[in-house]
A and B are shown apart, each in its own frame.
Chain A
Amino acid sequence: MSLLEIRSISKSFGDNRAVDDVSLTIRAGELLGLIGSNGAGKTTLVNLISGFFPADHGQLVFDGRDITRQTVNERIRAGIARSFQLVNLFDQLTVLDNIALTIFAREGKTRHLMALAATDGAVYREALDILGQFSLEAKAGMLAGAIAQGERKLLDVAVAYTLRPRLLFLDEPTSGVSSREKAPIMDIVTSIVRSQRITAVIIEHDMDVVFRYSERIVAMHQGKILAEGTPDEIRRNEQVTANLLGAQPA
């Protein structure tokens, strides 16, 4: 069953065709890897789907509904969430408050001016619980800006996860993290995603990570989709190996 249908989506910045007539179907429950060299258009595609900017042409249909013209907020309410390539957190709030704020927003409670946030025990219990799922509960009281990079990456994913999305986009969840830390991060992320039956799209540069964790892979190059298939099919695809995997260590 298709969750998201991307139909001939295009986006240009001046002369640069960042995303060029891309069509793709994302199936419910799958874990999709999105690969491609720098400038291939992966992040632009995620930006288009999440609503960061509007597409020039094309259509996006999420769960049967046309979301092409919807705002970021509407898409979040519909069930699309994302993390960011360069970690985007509320650095001056505690790790716990980063999650708590997201819960408040999700529940529509951020409209309340005359209630003390700290008195809402249910929100903070859920926040602590989520932190526990991501192995971050020890850092709950620290400022988000003060924790290690790997933990920040996890927190970024945790914030997106807190929105209870049906479709989650993770933009390079292990970039900037040492190779030792990559596997633990991906293990946590994929186990949570699988157990909650969240459809996930993971943009990654690290081919080991992509091949190990994805069920299906889509390869982009210069704004277009080059190939899609299972990890084995992609590995054997000549165009992909030429354009993307050539520079990878054997």
Chain B
Amino acid sequence: MTSPAAPRERPLTPRKLLAAGLGLVVLLALPTVLPTFQTLQVSYGLIFGIAALGFNLLLGYTGLLSFGHSAFFGAGAYMAAFLVKYAGVTSMEAFLAAGVLAAFATAAVFGVVCVRYTRIFFSILALALSQVLWSLALKLFWVTGGTDGLRVPTPTLLAGALAPAADKTAFLVHRYYYYVLAVFVLAVAVMWVILHSPFGTALQAIRDNEVRAEFVGVQVRRYRYVAFLVSGAFTGLAGALWVPLNGLTTPDILYWPFSGKIVFMAVLGGFRTFWGPIVGAIVFNYLETWAVGFTVYWQLVLGLILVALVLAMPTGLAGTASLLAARLWRR
């Protein structure tokens, strides 16, 4: 059986930089033109974009499909909530730092077991382990709030340099949106460097042929472990960013179908490209919101889309778009 084809990385051309720059300008301008609801949607999209980006380090670049990323997202979210509940902390930077650390620690523990396996076993193990956290969040209700979850109020940004906003919605739509955007840009830049580093090349080698990788001196298990750690940390960052926006964290984000959503996002956008997961996350967020509003059978809609994607458009939106673009340019 052939492995899923790799992301084709071409060097950072001026055209690419221009496109990215334009994208950034658009994102910067959005809150001024879009209604509140839409801006919030974009915020969520960017946050899930970070999660999907982290996830895809494992899938697209290392060849490991994790069905357990809800654990990292949830670790990040719950850690922020714990800071609020048990330490009275409201600094966003503290949330982010703690969230990333919590997710990193979770990945460190889970990774020890998971990276001994590949393919399906890896996927199932990641899933099973993520359920440990879910069951703990659900059962230890005196710590985690159980099914009610934990509330997280609007945090202070930039260590309180900006005065706390009076109107929560205005805050979320403006200051918090730009904060999320800034973190997003930073995360994308860091991930881009990582994937284009010698380490990133080693991961792709492992994905393509782990025997050969071992036989050129790349200790496969170690590299998978580090990839797992980085992937988890990114997704935890997303979780910590998400919880002030959502206002609340519940065990739902640790339940394994949420991991499925992250997988969906990457597949929708195209896990063979760098930008695919981000595009997929933003589109999926809109798709889900629309579907939930459109019908109570939104899972059916999403399920049908996923099946159609796998059967007819396995390279996802970004992948198909770049294939079409390549064909157009060839003419």
Chain A interface residues (CB < 8 Å from chain B): 50, 72-73, 76-77, 81-82, 84, 88-93, 97, 100-102, 104-106, 109-118, 120, 159-160, 162-163
Contacts and interface: CB of A to CB of B under 8 A. Distances in A.
A115 B198 contact: yes
A114 B197 contact: yes
B201 interface: yes
Q: Is the interface of A mostly helix, strand, loop or mixed?
A: helix
B212 A113 contact: no
B194 interface: yes
A90 B194 contact: no
A66 B21 CA distance: 58
Interface string B301-329: 00000000000000000000000000000
Contact of B215 (A76, A97, A104, A109): A76
B199 A110 contact: yes
B204 A73 contact: no
A105 B196 contact: no
Contacts of B196: 116-118
Most A-side CB within 10 Å, residue of B198, B204, B208, B230: B198
B138 to A, nearest CB: 35
Contact of B202 (A92, A104, A160): A104
A72 B214 contact: yes
B199 A111 contact: yes
B219 to A, nearest CB: 5
B26 interface: no
Given A116-B196, A117-B200, A101 B209 contact: no
B9 to A, nearest CB: 9
B217 interface: yes
B223 interface: yes
A162 B218 CA distance: 14
7 contacts: A72-B215, A73-B214, A76-B217, A91-B209, A101-B218, A112-B199, A117-B197
Decide if the interface of chain B is mainly helix, strand, loop or mixed. helix
Given A91-B209, A92-B208, A113 B216 contact: no
A82 B199 CA distance: 23
A167 to B, nearest CB: 14
A116 B208 contact: no
Contact of A93 (B190, B201, B219): B201
Contacts of A93: 6, 201, 204-205, 208
A84 B212 contact: yes
A105 B226 CA distance: 16
Interface in B178-233: 190, 193-194, 196-202, 204-205, 207-209, 211-219, 223, 226, 230
Contact of A91 (B193, B201, B208, B223): B208
A82 B215 contact: yes
A116 B218 CA distance: 18
A114 B212 contact: no
Contacts of A117: 196-198, 200-201
Interface in B1-19: 5-6, 11
Given A105-B216, A110-B223, A113-B230, A88 B211 contact: yes
A72 B213 CA distance: 11
Contact of B197 (A81, A115, A163): A115
Contacts of A105: 202, 216-218
Given A113-B230, A117-B200, A101 B205 contact: yes
B188 to A, nearest CB: 14
A89 B217 contact: no
Best-surrounded residue of A82, A88, A92, A111 (most CB of chain B within 10 A): A92
Interface in B49-89: none
Contacts of A111: 198-199
A73 B221 CA distance: 12
B198 A163 contact: no
A90 B62 CA distance: 12
Contacts of B202: 101, 104-105, 110
A72 B196 CA distance: 26
A93 B205 CA distance: 7
A92 B204 contact: yes
B11 A50 contact: no
Given A113-B197, A117-B197, A159-B212, A73 B219 contact: yes
A90 to B, nearest CB: 4
Nearest to B219: A73
Nearest to A156: B212
Given A93-B6, A101-B202, A120-B198, A88 B212 contact: yes
Contacts of A116: 193, 196-197
A95 to B, nearest CB: 13
B212 A90 contact: yes
Nearest to B193: A114
